[in-house]
Structure 1
Amino acid sequence: MDTEMYIEKDIYVECLNDIGMLEIENDEFFMSPYIRGQRVIHKVLPMHIMQTIFYYTLTLGEFNCNEESVLKTWDSRNEDRFSLEMVCKRWCSIIKASCRSLVLSLNNLEANTFRITHFTYLKKLEIINNVNNDSDYSDYDTSDDEDTKDYSNNDLYYDYFDQRKNITYRRRKRVPNKNSDKLARCLSTTIQLSLPNLSTLNLSMSNLKERHIETIKSALASNKNIKKINLDGCPIGDQGVVFLSEILESNNTIRQLDLQSCGSINGLEYLGRAISNNNTLEKLIWSYNQSNYTSVICLSNGLRNNHSQIKSLILRACDIEGWGALSLSDTLAINKSLRELDLGSNQLGDAGAIALASKINSHPSLSILDLSSNLISTEGIDKILLSIQSNKTLTNLNLSRNQLDLSIPLENLTSSLELNKNLISLNLSECDLQNFHFKQISIALQSNKKLKKLNLSKNNFTIIEPFITIIQSNKNLKSIYISKHKFKSNELFILLNHIFKLNDSIKLDNGEVVNIDIPSIVHQLEYIDLSQSHDPLTKNIILLLREFRKVNNITKIKI
């Protein structure tokens, strides 16, 4: 039975009266219509039916859906939430018991600090500081309308003498903004409550500062359930990192710590010391924070400790230079737990790349390496490619946005892809690759059986023959990106016919007939990016794309 329920104050009660289900006693005359409606629903519907109805609502109409796809976010901004609470408190309790992810604003956190324990299976808590003007201090009163100001309270205003105008003004004092202080106190209390399933704490939108980290420090240090803490974008500075380092030294539960863009300069120095005494932290995100050579040395020393369990280290845009890379490479020779190393958007140069390459070839666990945008030229890239020939663990390698020196040959490009047996994803976009590099790659892919994703976008390719060689000989590649190409329209038309396997002969715009050997096309590509071609699409290409869409459900192409 399909049922729609509209909740309105008097209409709802009148509907129940019409069907003879509402009995109002004299002592309940002034009771809210919502409460009276709740009582009637409790009498009419058994508890198990109410649970079924609301489970159906939460799963968006799918009774047999996977539990992970259930809508379990009890967002404070959810308009339906308030209606549901008013209809039936028991239904509200069912939703709370099913909730896994909770988002609270400052005001809601303050009001529900102790009620949060009703969310029995809560796993993720996110706090949003949505109060305007949440800086450390309130602004000066700079209004030009003197009639609207009240100068009677000397505690709020002070005298300011403008020497240029030789005039004395009264200005509003800057007073501490206590919104974030209130949030930190409520958060500290919440962390100390009994929430056995709470494992993720997202504070990236809370705008917490160093003094707030000090407020919640003792609560976090003693908590035994929270495994992931996200402070992305919170301006906690060096002192805030000091407090977090003290937490890591005493807490053996935290597995992931996100501190990117936290306004720290020497934070790695403190974190390195904490990591040397911590045996549980597995992922550290430190991107977009300045890190001098001394800080990188301290981090490296911490990673060399036998107790270190760091598996993922994200250090994007941290101003790390060649000497820092040298220190990290020495660490790779000792640390055997690291699986992901992201050094993108730094300043490693060829010296740093060569230092890392010398340790990559024998590292027993490293599987993801990002060296994109690092001022690496041909010499450094060639050494990295040489190192992966013997590496047995690396699956994802990103060398994009590093410009080759075309006066020096890239000797190991072909052999690295032919000999490597584990690489799944390779990114060489924006590296100033030329047509002869494209031919080298196509030759290597004839024997490569592992690579599934290849990004060659924004290079200088003008010929299609290497691409045709790839699709004729390689059936393992699933995605290839060659956007911003410089193929001519006729060549692109020929390439598309090879990709689509639609015709054995085609007629070009100039009247030339080209034969295509369809049986030799073995590719199993699922996605091809040929977007932003140099020439506008011709009528032949547009018609071909339309025909392709009708018969092909596997390969997706962007053009």
Structure 2
Amino acid sequence: MASKGNWERHTYCLYGNDLTDSCAEDLASALSTNRSLIDLNLDYNKLGDSGVKLLSVALRNPECKIQKLHLHGNNLTDSCAEDLASSLSTNRSLIDLNLDENKLGDSGVKLLSVALRNPDCKIQKLDLNFNGLTDSCAEDLASALSTNRSLIDLNLGGNKLGDSGVKLLFVALRNPECKIQKLDLYGNDLTDSCAEDLASALSTNRSLIDLNLDYNKLGDSGVKLLSVALRNPECKIQKLHLHGNNLTDSCAEDLASSLSTNRSLIDLNLDENKLGDSGVKLLSVALRNPDCKIQKLDLNFNGLTDSCAEDLASALSTNRSLIDLNLGGNKLGDSGVKLLFVALRNPECKIQKLDLANTALTDSCAEDLASALCTNQTLRILNLGLNSFTDQSVPALRRLILTCRSLEEIWLQKNWISCGESQLEPLQGSRPGLKVLL
């Protein structure tokens, strides 16, 4: 282990260093005596249960000042959970614990939940993604959420809680004592069967502002129920992720109505769905509504074509809040993006980040792009990667980079540009902080 002098820093990263339980006793000694170390990253090592049991002894030492401990991917099972739980119940400084990609299972999390119910537990952020959890531990977790006063960020992605498990969690969210602000339920086999319970929780909870439901199976029927909650003025959600939920244009009108009325939602991720042109046309109506507060909208891989581009362009020209729009992986083509570029010339357009990667662009639209951006004063990041620009577009791209003074990053990877290193990369020196990524 490092000497005492080498440990006199606030943060120490030992990520992926093939550490095993043989060094745990020395590490525990350092944690028990060091007064400055507050952030320790031990992700992707092989400490195992025996190693973490030794660390837990140190965590229970009142002299241990660690605030953030990462044990992601360390082959941990329920065998060490009781020791960890004891640490959570007694340690006064630890507020952030990452246990992602271990094998704690339901039995392990039940033990941790006992600690979370302890009023002396100070943990604020707990990561339990990919730990083999099912609905069997949900009641214990729900009880912890209802009583814990410090936990505000809980990540349960990549488990198999299912509808029955999350319904129990949503009961806890309706409890006024629940303080959770961020909840990650990514990839938990959720369907529309739990949507009504979730909608009820969103309508009553005053603390939850960030909800990740990516890669579930809520479908149009589930999102229609969520949209009712989003229209409720009591709903405080600011960030909602619905990436990969089998959504189509059937739910778009309900979502659009939510965008037009909700005053808190500023970040909506709809990537990898099947909204299509008809769905995005409906969303565009909402974006033109002056009451729409959305700032970031992800529509990557939604089967869009140039048919919806005019509607999107109109929205970009009038919306005062949208600053980050992601349209990658659609087939807008030159004709579609030319319409978007007209909106970029409008001084009312507030877009700062625009992702057009993999949207079937060619040299045919390069001049229009350069012309649109020569007067734009807001765009900071532009992604044009994975398209079909060639050396023929280089003069227009040079002009774009030099004249768009707000531009900080332009992404051009995986196009057909052979002279980029000589003609475009040197432009990075034209102003401080400019990045040209080829």
Taking a change above 3 Å as real, the CA distance of residues 336 and 449 of structure 1, as seen in their structure-2 partners, is same
Which stretch shifts more, 313-322 or 188-197? 188-197
1:375 alignment partner in structure 2: 246
Taking a change above 3 Å as real, the CA distance of residues 128 and 469 of structure 1, as seen in their structure-2 partners, is closer
Say which of 295, 302, 305 aligns to 1:431.
Answer: 302
When normalised by structure 2's length, the TM-score is 0.85
1:99 alignment partner in structure 2: 10
> Is structure 2 residue 412 aligned with structure 1 residue 526?
no
Q: Render the CA deviation track for 1:383-428: whole Å, top value 9, x for unaligned.
A: 1121011111111111111102667784342233433442211111
2:214 alignment partner in structure 1: 344
State the Cα distance separating 1:500 from its structure 2 match: 4.7
CA distance in structure 2 between the partners assigned to 1:323 and 1:252 by the alignment = 34
CA distance in structure 1 between the partners assigned to 2:370 and 2:279 by the alignment = 36
Say which of 146, 161, 184 aligns to 1:276.
Answer: 146
CA distance in structure 2 between the partners assigned to 1:281 and 1:323 by the alignment = 27
Q: Secondary structure at the match of 2:236?
A: coil
Q: Secondary structure at the match of 2:56?
A: helix
State the Cα distance separating 1:524 from its structure 2 match: 2.3
1:481 alignment partner in structure 2: 355
Greater Rg, structure 1 or structure 2?
1
What is the one-letter code of the residue matched to 1:545? L
Say which of 173, 183, 200 aligns to 2:68.
Answer: 200
Q: Render the CA deviation track for 1:133-178: whole Å, top value 9, x for unaligned.
A: xxxxxxxxxxxxxxxxxxxxxxxxxxxxxxxxxxxxxxxxxxxxxx
Say which of 35, 38, 50 aligns to 1:182.
Answer: 50
Q: Render the CA deviation track for 1:249-277: whole Å, top value 9, x for unaligned.
A: 11441111110000111233321122122
CA distance in structure 1 between the partners assigned to 2:315 and 2:43 by the alignment = 51
1:445 alignment partner in structure 2: 316
CA distance in structure 1 between the partners assigned to 2:92 and 2:153 by the alignment = 18
Unaligned runs of 5+ residues in structure 2 are: 413-438
Q: Secondary structure at the match of 2:195?
A: helix
1:159 alignment partner in structure 2: none
Is residue 382–residue 410 contact of structure 1 (8 Å, CA) maintained in 2? no
Is residue 378–residue 410 contact of structure 1 (8 Å, CA) maintained in 2? no
Q: How many residues align?
A: 401
2:435 alignment partner in structure 1: none
What is the one-letter code of the residue matched to 1:427? D
**Paired-residue identity, %:** 22
Taking a change above 3 Å as real, the CA distance of residues 432 and 334 of structure 1, as seen in their structure-2 partners, is same
1:466 alignment partner in structure 2: 339
Which stretch shifts more, 193-202 or 435-444? 193-202
Unaligned runs of 5+ residues in structure 1 are: 1-75, 86-91, 132-178, 502-520
What is the one-letter code of the residue matched to 2:341? I
What is the one-letter code of the residue matched to 2:316? L
Higher relative contact order (CA 8 A, sep 6+): 2
Taking a change above 3 Å as real, the CA distance of residues 286 and 115 of structure 1, as seen in their structure-2 partners, is closer
What is the root-mean-square deviation of aligned Cα atoms in Å? 2.4
Taking a change above 3 Å as real, the CA distance of residues 213 and 274 of structure 1, as seen in their structure-2 partners, is same
When normalised by structure 1's length, the TM-score is 0.67
Is residue 477–residue 524 contact of structure 1 (8 Å, CA) maintained in 2? yes
Say which of 259, 262, 279 aligns to 2:131.
Answer: 262
Q: Render the CA deviation track for 1:411-451: whole Å, top value 9, x for unaligned.
A: 34223343344221111111112323211111112121111
> Is structure 2 residue 346 aligned with structure 1 residue 493?
no
Is residue 33–residue 64 contact of structure 2 (8 Å, CA) maintained in 1? no
Q: Render the CA deviation track for 1:364-400: whole Å, top value 9, x for unaligned.
A: 4211011111011112133112101111111111111
State the Cα distance separating 1:523 from its structure 2 match: 4.3
> Is structure 2 residue 29 aligned with structure 1 residue 114?
yes
Matches within 5 A, 1:4-403: 92-93=4-5, 95-101=6-12, 103=14, 105=19, 106-127=21-42, 130-131=45-46, 180-195=48-63, 197-250=65-118, 251-266=120-135, 267-361=137-231, 362-403=233-274
1:176 alignment partner in structure 2: none
Is residue 319–residue 349 contact of structure 2 (8 Å, CA) maintained in 1? no
CA distance in structure 2 between the partners assigned to 1:111 and 1:214 by the alignment = 21
Is residue 32–residue 64 contact of structure 2 (8 Å, CA) maintained in 1? no
CA distance in structure 2 between the partners assigned to 1:442 and 1:408 by the alignment = 15
Is residue 295–residue 322 contact of structure 2 (8 Å, CA) maintained in 1? yes
State the Cα distance separating 1:526 from its structure 2 match: 1.3
